[in-house]
Amino acid sequence: MTAAPLLSMRGLSKHFDGLQAVRDVDLDLAPGEVRALIGPNGAGKTTLVGMICGRIAPSAGRVTFDGADITALPAHKRIGLGMAYTFQITSVFPALPVRENLALAARRRLKGAAVQEAVRHALTRVGLPPDSAEQAAGNLSYGHQRLLELAMGLVQAPRLLILDEPTQGLSDSEIDGFKALIGELKGATTILLIEHNMSVVMDVADRVTVLNGGAVLAEGTPAEIHENAAVQAAYLGTG
């Protein structure tokens, strides 16, 4: 018997002043699945994620999480249910040390000594050097700020981790480390990955959903998507 989806969307749509950014999207994420969301620039990926996270109110449709309708739930309450997400543009606290950025995220679920232990573990998992802990987050390279954001998501032990362009700015070795980390998380954490690096998508995703013009163009395994003629014409063939 197939497990019920952890995250489900039905008819999710968003328009801005007459512009239809997302159109009638149906999407189900199974527990422990790694789902990649791809598509050309302007396809509606970030708007869709904003509606999932509660940062953007949909014009139509609904979102359910673990069977509960969360369509009208504010973002901070979705975090409380076990969602965590990183942004396309980094959103660390630049004046605070790396350690305190992580501790702030960890304190949503932990107290006392457990916070610092979670901070150390998260730094190690994402591959940030130990001496970075005391640096101001704003002094990190862009790629390391992306890794810090990922660590801030992990330290919350989320049930659903949403990553928007997580490998942007990472070196080849850091991308390899990211792939290995997603492999470790797979099965225990449900992951929605918005990513332009097709090597990452093909290596880590269980399934891929392709958006084009705000609507779902195709869905399938990485191999199926790679061979899909409509996807090739709309997206892969352009890159």
- Tens-level pLDDT at each residue, the chain (239 residues): 567 999 999 999 999 988 999 999 999 999 999 999 999 888 999 999 999 999 999 999 999 999 999 999 999 999 999 999 986 556 789 999 999 999 999 998 999 999 999 999 999 999 998 889 999 999 999 899 989 999 999 999 999 999 999 999 899 999 999 999 999 999 999 999 999 999 999 999 999 999 999 999 999 999 999 999 999 888 765 44
User: What is each CA distance from 203 to 46, 49, 138, 164, 224, in whole angstroms?
Assistant: 22, 22, 31, 17, 13
The residue type of 146 is R
d(CA 71, CA 26): 14
What domains are defined for the chain? Answer: 1-82+160-238 (3.40.50.300), 95-157 (no CATH)
Closest by CA position to 99, among listed 74, 141, 128: 128
SS3 221: coil
